[in-house]
Chain A
Amino acid sequence: GENVEQHPSTLSVQEGDSAVIKCTYSDSASNYFPWYKQELGKRPQLIIDIRSNVGEKKDQRIAVTLNKTAKHFSLHITETQPEDSAVYFCAAIERFQKLVFGTGTRLLVSP
């Protein structure tokens, strides 16, 4: 089955800096890659996603890139703000209709 690895596990940045979180996946048949944000004590919420026929997608300060050949995808947050502090999860959709999640990255944005 699909296996998703996520790095780093923790990431500390100063407000205004950029943050990059990277994930790799194992199943070349996976074709959908969402990113979820989970604030402390809250539920995970979808923030952006990308399909395998697209190389990059942007939504204001966040963007996701996908390299199908290398089987990795990344989340980029520019001009980070304290409210970006949260745990971020990447995921890949496994061929049998299941999402497989990475282990999460705790992002801390210091003022």
Chain B
Amino acid sequence: NAGVTQTPKFRVLKTGQSMTLLCAQDMNHEYMYWYRQDPGMGLRLIHYSVGEGTTAKGEVPDGYNVSRLKKQNFLLGLESAAPSQTSVYFCASGPRAREQYFGPGTRLTVT
């Protein structure tokens, strides 16, 4: 039981490049979330999903897209990376909204 895993752990992108972050969970959770964490700003919700095939926008969705084709995976895409997207990205999953388990995080730098 690996819990919540994130791939990759670190990444450096140039402005305009694209990439996909993968979140995987083996706990059969319905709810999955993508947050970004910036100094002094806490955890801000980017997108979330309440079940396979569903997605919804969070607080800061612009510049990101997501997909939940399989229940265990939640993908976060950056189509054209910008320096403002430099951040630490956390995925979380849970059997219900109030019970969230976080992944280890992905540190992304956009130059």
Q: Which residues of A contact B (CB under 8 A)?
A: 6, 9, 32, 34, 42-46, 49, 89, 93, 97-104
B48 to chain A: which residues have CB within 8 Å? 97-98
- Convert B72-93 into 0s and 1s, putting 1 for each residue whose CB lies closer than 8 angstroms to a CB of A: 0000000000000000001000
CB-nearest residue of chain A to B91: A43
Select which of A43, A49, A102 is within 8 A of B105 by beta carbon: A43
Q: What size tier do the contact residues of chain B reach?
A: 20 to 34
Q: Is the CB of B42 within 8 A of A98?
A: no
Select which of A42, A44, A97, A102 is within 8 A of B97 by beta carbon: A97
Distance in angstroms between the alpha carbons of A103 and B59 in the assembled complex: 14
B102 to chain A: which residues have CB within 8 Å? 43-45
Select which of A9, A44, A93 is within 8 A of B43 by beta carbon: A44
**B94 CB → nearest A CB, Å:** 10
Q: Is the CB of A98 within 8 A of B98?
A: no
Known contacts: A9-B40, A101-B42, A104-B42. The answer to whether A43 contacts B98 by CB under 8 A is no
B58 to chain A: which residues have CB within 8 Å? 98
CB-nearest residue of chain B to A32: B98
A104 to chain B: which residues have CB within 8 Å? 40, 42
**A30 CB → nearest B CB, Å:** 11
Q: Is the CB of B40 within 8 A of A98?
A: no
Distance in angstroms between the alpha carbons of A45 and B99 in the assembled complex: 11
Distance in angstroms between the alpha carbons of A6 and B43 in the assembled complex: 13
CB-nearest residue of chain A to B44: A101
Decide if B104 is an interface residue (CB 8 Å cutoff).
yes
Select which of A9, A44, A97, A103 is within 8 A of B90 by beta carbon: A44
10 cross-chain CB contacts under 8 A: A42-B104, A43-B102, A49-B98, A97-B50, A98-B48, A99-B33, A99-B97, A99-B98, A101-B42, A103-B42
Distance in angstroms between the alpha carbons of A52 and B45 in the assembled complex: 23
